Amino acid sequence: MFITRCKFTSRSWQGIEIDSSLLSYSGLNSYDVLDSYRDQVFDVPGAIEKLGAALAGFKAVPNAVGLGALIISFILEAIGKSLGKQTMGTAEMLQRVFAEEKGNEVRDLMEEYLKRLRINLGKPQLQLAETRQIERDLSAQLTRLKNSMLVDGHMDSRLLKQWVNGAAFHTQMLIHQARLEGADGSRAVRAAGVYQRQLNDIMDSYKKLASRGQQSPDRKKARHLFTGD
């Protein structure tokens, strides 16, 4: 697993964390999370008929872990909601991270990629082509967002939350790409290391800013978001 939960206990860190849905489908047990929710949806009368068209061949969908599992969860939640089932809130992930902000390139790229994965569900070669293209674009936008905070001085918790989730998402894109290519995932490991170092720089800058006008965050409570297991 390349991403671990980060606990920010100081009030200065409130709201800055990886979204719960992204975390749920980033672990090695993401298929189990998906399977558990699917069983809940199947338990409703009429569910199998509704799922028939949307998830035809579900068991044969390759790479139904990580972002692949996340995409299938969107479909399950839409059907579950129509059947009156409580959802896991996966579909609202981007809204939670970016709120109602307009013209956000990171959000738009993440949304577009999730849409393309859903369109190409079960078609790994098309998913691979889309992943290769969009991950480069997202990487560039994350660099711009980082520089906006570190170089241009536009540092605030809203941008930091967006960068943290964008970096976590990009790392998962590289993991998904490795699965599609049958590769060893070394690019994802290196990306996680790069983002960890960048996070340290951003955190140092954010702490200095917070210490001027807010309660200084407790350094001992800030844990790593990205690891390269």
Q: Looking at residue 71, what is its pLDDT?
A: 87
The Cα–Cα gap between 35 and 70 comes to 11
**Encoded tokens for 144:** 């711009």
The Cα–Cα gap between 148 and 144 comes to 6
pTM for this prediction: 0.81
Q: Of residues 176 and 121, which shows the higher confidence score?
A: 176
Q: What are the residues facing 3 on neighbouring strands?
A: 226
One-letter amino acid identity for 149? M
Range with lowest mean pLDDT among 10-19, 34-43, 157-166, 194-203: 10-19
What SS3 state is found at 64? Answer: coil
Mean pLDDT of the chain: 78
Please, are residues 162 and 97 in contact by the beta-carbon 8 Å criterion? Answer: yes
One-letter amino acid identity for 44? V
Q: Looking at residue 170, what is its pLDDT?
A: 96
Q: Which of 34, 110, 39 is nearest to 74 (CA)?
A: 34
